[in-house]
Amino acid sequence: MSSHKKNLSSASERAKKQPGKKTSSIERAYSSLMLDGPSRAASRAMLYPVGFSDKDFTKSIVGVASTWSMVTPCNMHIDALARESALGIDKAGGKAIIFNTITISDGISMGTEGMKYSLVSREVIADSVETVAGCQGFDGLVAIGGCDKNMPGCMIAIARLNRPSVFVYGGTILPGCLNGKLIDVVSVFEAVGQEAAGSISAKERQAVESCAIPGPGSCGGMYTANTMASAIEAMGMSLPNSSAQAAVSSHKVQDCRDAGAAVLNLLKKGIRPLDIMTKEAFENAITVVIALGGSTNAVLHLLAIAHAAGVKLTIDDFTRIGKRVPVLADLKPSGKYLMSQLVEIGGIVPLMKDLLAAGLLHGDVMTVTGKTLRQNLAAFKPYPKGQEIIRPISNPIKKESHLVILKGNLAPGGGVAKISGKEGLRFEGNARVFDSEEKALQAILAKKIKKGDVIVIRYEGPKGGPGMREMLSPTSAVMGLGLGKDVALITDGRFSGGTHGFVVGHITPEAFAGGPIALIKEGDAITIDASKRTLSLAVGIAELAKRKKAWKQPTPRYRRGVLAKYAAHVTDASHGAVTDDGL
């Protein structure tokens, strides 16, 4: 039979079955409105060519939001993972529809004008996932993210939609190896500084860059991707231990299939994301981020996700929780080990089990398994004896959080410091002022920065950048030059999860809004005090008022396009840099 005749025959059989009968249930709350009844015949007709059978119109429709792209190794494998989740959905009795959203690469765009689109992409991803799921009447969602902004972007959309959903992390990359030493992307950034210092040759730097990233997966330390994956799992929105799996592994394939089936279970039980994403769940996420020594970006992203979920979370909650939660993980960037090594000893679940036993986690919160966190953790074994990656609570790396919220006359609205303890708890120095990241990096690589300097990088905030670029290039250059303990850096921009050293970001109000950081002059004395949680400028009130009167707001750098729209709507960093506040 010809292909054309086969199609005609299939159409005839479908006509006889008349799949236009109206049905509705909690499991088809949205798809039934889109697909049921004679009036929705045209909608059904559009779906036969993409693989629907008559029976599929009676099933829960679950969207699979794939962030696949060949833009970056973080996401290059996610198309295959999306297909695995679709298989899990279909096998569990649902009907999967895979769709795509964007991704950008921080690692590639870092230090360039292109990096201004990075945080903006979080909002674009959230908007696009919400748009497709809302438009197409999906009953549930599996979202698969691999790079830094994919994860919070997907989670913001999940919170807005509030339809049964599971987030899947694309998994961590395996480390590169050079001369018997494990290396990763941050090794490359620091090699740039080492070459500038003359401690390695151009050939040695090229050797690092050529083998640091061996394949698919997200950056291999406790940088932003692994931090956010761990936070989302701790929040209960990912399956147990799914944040600690290699990108290319049988475990990650199974995780994707299980996530598909989990959504069908949530649909049957009527469990929605906002039943899971409570204030207690966010507190669990913060606790795990601290224990792991996670990225400063977690502050920004958790505030944004909480905003989408309608949960009242503030930067002060990070201080409150940080006073009682220790840093336990000896993970890069400030520590010794990589995420792949944590995977080998059991991931983050044994850590969470220890935190729960110590009364530092809320155990009775709901999760995407349909069980409580306490029930999920019960079956897992402790870490093997002798491992050195995760310290016992009785012997922490740092007794309090490494994420320190600073306030003072230089940051009235707050700033976020990443203080591992290795840098000390206090830094006093004189300001070296730069009105862009590029200018600061040029000075650092030209060896114009000396011991005792406080590098000030401003007009890089959410509105002023716009886009709040990450400062991994300058901070890595400082480390590469061997000045990590002798130089501080403050900015109204933000930091990569790979940043370490004495750094303070998210300074609010930002320079573009006329915040005190805009009024700093070359040579001004600045004090960072992690113990007192203060960031101070040694300039009197009268002098600051005089400078403020003389200050003029710069002309916006972008007048059209996505960056201009972002700058017009974005809130400050202390409120998550969200774009839908008060709309």
Instruction: Give me the active site residues, please.
Output: 496
Distance CA 195, CA 480 (A): 8
Distance CA 49, CA 166 (A): 27
DSSP-assigned letters across all residues of 83-94: HHHHHHHHHTT-
Burial of residue 108 (number of CB atoms within 10 Å: 0-12, 13-18, 19+):
middle
Secondary structure in 3-state letters for 369-426: CCCEHHHHHCCCCCCCCCCCCECCCCCCCECCCCEEEEEECCEEEEEEEECCCCCCCE
Neighbours of 542 (CB within 10 A): 8
Which amino acid is it at 189?
A: F
Distance CA 43, CA 36 (A): 9
Residue tagged 């203080």 (tokens): 419
Q: How far apart are the first and last CA of the chain?
A: 58
Distance CA 214, CA 227 (A): 21
Token pair listed for 580: 């839908």
- Angle at CA of residue 581, ends 155 and 165, nearest 5°: 20
**CA–CA distance from 417 to each of 292, 437, 533, 535 (Å)?**
16, 18, 9, 10
DSSP-assigned letter for residue 139 = S
Question: Going by DSSP bridges, is the β-strand pair 426-434/525-529 parallel, antiparallel, or unpaired?
Answer: antiparallel
Decide: helix, strand or coil at residue 573.
helix
CB 520 within 8 A of CB 430: no
Cβ contacts of residue 462 below 8 Å, gap of 6+? 119, 468, 510, 566, 567, 570, 571, 572, 573, 577
Cβ contacts of residue 479 below 8 Å, gap of 6+? 190, 193, 500, 501
Distance CA 40, CA 35 (A): 5
Distance CA 449, CA 441 (A): 10
